[in-house]
Copies of this chain bind each other. A is one copy, B any other.
């Protein structure tokens, strides 16, 4: 079978690609069926920039604008069993450029769903949704039945796609799964235009001996998932039996709730006070407003019952980063 990753040149797309190639197969048969996992014969990495790898005979790299139908028609055919749709304009950028956000986050996704529908074989579509679909007055712990009330254009676009994906699934056009991701941290590399970019930067930069600006206060609480666990959740999201999801195609993935102060405290344990001193506190109201509209925690009972697993603690998240990106071996405590 073929698998497509949109945003395949991105950090999460690249990690997911490596994980899928390492596994070599996906188990898409209904739960309880004894069928062997089906081998991945082709992995298409589609992005607006050329994916740099992985170097593997199964990988096909496609470059193009996903808001153009022909690009998606080239990437999806009747053998495409799973689409991981990660491509997106991130939160602060979608807030700064409304039309670009609508074009990529909403219109391109709709074209993707329509191309899947036109192929006629009901492929699985794993869509990465976000904490940003929630907002406004929220209960301390968001529940599965808490109303969406996004306070950003990014969150609005993600929520609209969730609705579309549910309806396309209900009608039998696709077999969709919308996974609501916590803020994925600690990401390697450079800061990006996501409002949540600081959550990675305040750990990553100080550990690299670099200074970083934190735009939110220490009391700000965020809901976090490591890249390692995020990738495992994406794979699990593709393998889960549609019947297990029932009438609800959205899943609130497991996360760890941590305040910025708690994150800094963990940083001090791992990198010492010198690392903490590399954080400059530069409040940015624009970022604060977006981040504080997001839930700091949600109920994960459904996700866990469906077999999704998150991180054990913020310390474990930092440990995963050090192992996966800095190649610091795991120490037993």
Given contacts A156-B163, A164-B160, A248-B136, contact A147 B146 (CB under 8 A): yes
Mask: chain A, 97-140; 1 = CB below 8 Å from B; 0 = not:
01000000000000000000000000000000000000011000
Q: Is the CB of B149 within 8 A of A146?
A: no
Which residues of chain B are near A56, meaning CB under 8 Å?
Answer: none
Mask: chain A, 144-172; 1 = CB below 8 Å from B; 0 = not:
11111111010010011001101100110
Q: Which of chain A's residues 152-211 have a Cβ closer than 8 Å to chain B?
A: 153, 156, 159-160, 163-164, 166-167, 170-171
Total identical chains: 2
Give the residue of B137, B156, B167, B248 whose beta carbon is less than 8 angstroms from that of A167.
B156
Give the residue of B137, B149, B153, B248 whose beta carbon is less than 8 angstroms from that of A171.
B153
* A247 part of interface (Cβ distance < 8 Å): yes
Bound CA–CA A156/B49 (angstroms): 33
Q: Is the CB of A171 within 8 A of B247?
A: no
Q: Is the CB of B98 within 8 A of A149?
A: no
Closest partner residue, chain B, to A95 (CB atom): B171
Which residues of chain B are near A166, meaning CB under 8 Å?
Answer: 149-150, 156
Q: Is the CB of A151 within 8 A of B98?
A: no
Q: Is the CB of A147 within 8 A of B150?
A: no
Q: Which of chain A's residues 197-256 have a Cβ closer than 8 Å to chain B?
A: 247-248
Which residues of chain B are near A170, meaning CB under 8 Å?
Answer: 151
Bound CA–CA A248/B138 (angstroms): 13
Binding site for B on A (CB under 8 A): 98, 136-137, 144-151, 153, 156, 159-160, 163-164, 166-167, 170-171, 247-248
Give 21 CB contacts A-B under 8 Å. Answer: A98-B171, A137-B145, A137-B247, A144-B147, A145-B146, A145-B147, A146-B147, A147-B147, A147-B148, A149-B166, A149-B247, A149-B248, A150-B163, A150-B166, A153-B171, A156-B166, A156-B167, A159-B163, A160-B160, A160-B164, A163-B163
